[in-house]
Amino acid sequence: MKRTPTLLEALIPIILLIGLLTANVFLFEDTLAGSNQIALLLAATLASVIIIRNGMNWESISEKIVSTIGSAMPSMLILLLIGSLAGTWLISGVVPAMIYYGLDIVSPGLFLFTAVVISAIVSLATGSSWSTVATIGVALLGIGKALGMNEAVVAGAIISGAYFGDKLSPLSDTTNLAPAMAGTDLFTHVRYMLITTTPTMIITLIIFLVLGFNHASNVGEVDVVGVKSAIDGSFNTSPVLFLVPIILFAVILMKVPPIPSLMIGTLLGGAFAVIFQPHIIEEVAGSGHSYLKASYITFMQAMFGDVKLTTSDEIVNGLVKTSGMSGMLDTIWLIISAMVFGGVMEAGGLLKRITQPIIDRAKSTGSLVASTVVSCIFFNLTASDQYISIVVPGRMFRKSYQDRGYKPELLSRTLEDAGTVTSVLIPWNTCGATQSRVLGVSTWAYLPYAFFNIISPLMSILIAYLNFKIRRIPENERIPESEVSVEIAK
């Protein structure tokens, strides 16, 4: 007979995981290379022992694990294609061209502010923080490095802007998922999010404006002319190369799904490399090959493996290297391990057992929103996936919000304020692991500077406690509890 887990039983795997992850930070230089994956699997093993002891059979557990991993498969495929896109955009000269022209356009003092704004605009247009970081974000990081900026601060600015756009764009999957879970429509949800998102973004921009001018004092140490000369000496830099990102963004705006969109971007990068960068083709492939054969070798190498180009400037040498799909394999390993842990915890009812007391203690508007925020962050920490951090709390809290007379947009806004934006702050979450690998900056390093992502859940709680523009359902329009239960069951 299956027994309901106690709170202590539900917490034990979490405590073990936190302990192992903490130890890894101090004992391993690169925790993404395997130590965090093993920590997640060991915690999953302990959770399995507990729930089997409570009466669940292994077949049910394994089915849930497979189902959970399956739900993350699109993210893993996207991650592989991001690796290949980074490779072909390097050999085609697209990213170097972005850096080259960006050094002329961007003022050092305004660079961080500009990075937030550009990332936000691109993410709003495309609806994807992942595509934004993998394309314009990589170029902005390169510009920041060339200007002598701290790469963790630059990464924080890019992520802040990218997740602002992801959160508000009607094209974003999470922006559509949150209102669906809460029971409201898309545009009501987007408009209501502006109440918390606007002040958060203003504060974020002010912080980066101040940081930008402070960091600008170090720019004199970097030879910007030398950096540009090195890029121009190694690549055929031309505005024509910008056709690649323009076409990709146009494809995304046409609502082509992410996987075929990224493949189109990858193939375009390879084609432009063959046309515009013959010397890069020969450098990567080596001598003694026909141009057709060399083009094939270089294109394949850029998609799946390491490419390290050599220029006349050491700073540029650090920018013109990529690892293709193979560079994403540690991250995919981490995602699979995280999904195993999340699947076991959900299968045994351990996650629900931990969050239920939080719901029961939430009485006021502020405490209810705070409880939702905590639950979203908890699921980002434990289930390691932003979609789960929206779906599960959405299901859990929907009836509570309706019973207390709140309009569904309050719940949908809270899910985005906490679930969407905090996912990238957790190293073993699918989002945190991905953005860290794409940018080449540790999650722990950029976390303190991802101000938009840090402030968003706090702003959501503050606005709720201030009772500012909290929408309530008129008494005569409230759904009886019995009907709410039937609706949620559907």
The answer for residues whose C-beta is within 8 angstroms of residue 125's C-beta and 6 or more apart is: 165, 169, 171, 249, 252, 253
Name the DSSP letter for residue 384: -
Task: Give the closest residue to 155 by CA, choosing from 457, 440, 458, 453.
Answer: 440
Q: Can you give the residue ranges of every domain in the chain?
A: 7-71+329-489, 74-326
pLDDT, tens digit, for every residue of 367-424? 999 999 998 998 888 877 788 788 778 877 888 888 888 999 999 999 999 999 999 9
pLDDT, tens digit, for every residue of 329-369? 887 888 788 888 888 988 888 878 887 787 778 778 999 99
108 pLDDT higher than 90: no
The three-state (H, E, C) secondary structure of 263-303, written as one string: HHHHHHHHHHHHHHCHHHHHHHHCCCCCHHHHHHHHHHHHH
pLDDT of residue 62: 94
Cα(489)–Cα(434) distance, integer angstroms: 34
Cα(209)–Cα(227) distance, integer angstroms: 25
**pLDDT-based confidence at 294, cuts 50/70/90?**
very high
Token digits of residue 118: 């550009």
Mean pLDDT (the chain) is 87
322 pLDDT higher than 70: yes
Query: 393, 77 in Cβ contact below 8 A?
Result: no
Task: Give the closest residue to 17 by CA, choosing from 340, 329, 390.
Answer: 340
pLDDT, tens digit, for every residue of 141-185? 988 888 888 999 999 999 999 999 989 987 787 888 888 888 888
The answer for residues whose C-beta is within 8 angstroms of residue 224's C-beta and 6 or more apart is: 103, 146, 147
**Which phi and psi (to 5°) does residue 182 adopt?**
-90, -25
| CA dist 3 → 122, 343, 355, 360 (Å) | 50, 18, 18, 21
pLDDT, tens digit, for every residue of 13-52? 989 988 888 888 788 877 778 888 898 899 999 999 999 9
Give the amino acid at 450: A
Mean pLDDT of 208-213: 90
pLDDT, tens digit, for every residue of 58-91? 999 999 999 888 877 887 888 788 889 889 999 9
Name the DSSP letter for residue 183: T
Token digits of residue 275: 């046309």
Name the DSSP letter for residue 405: T
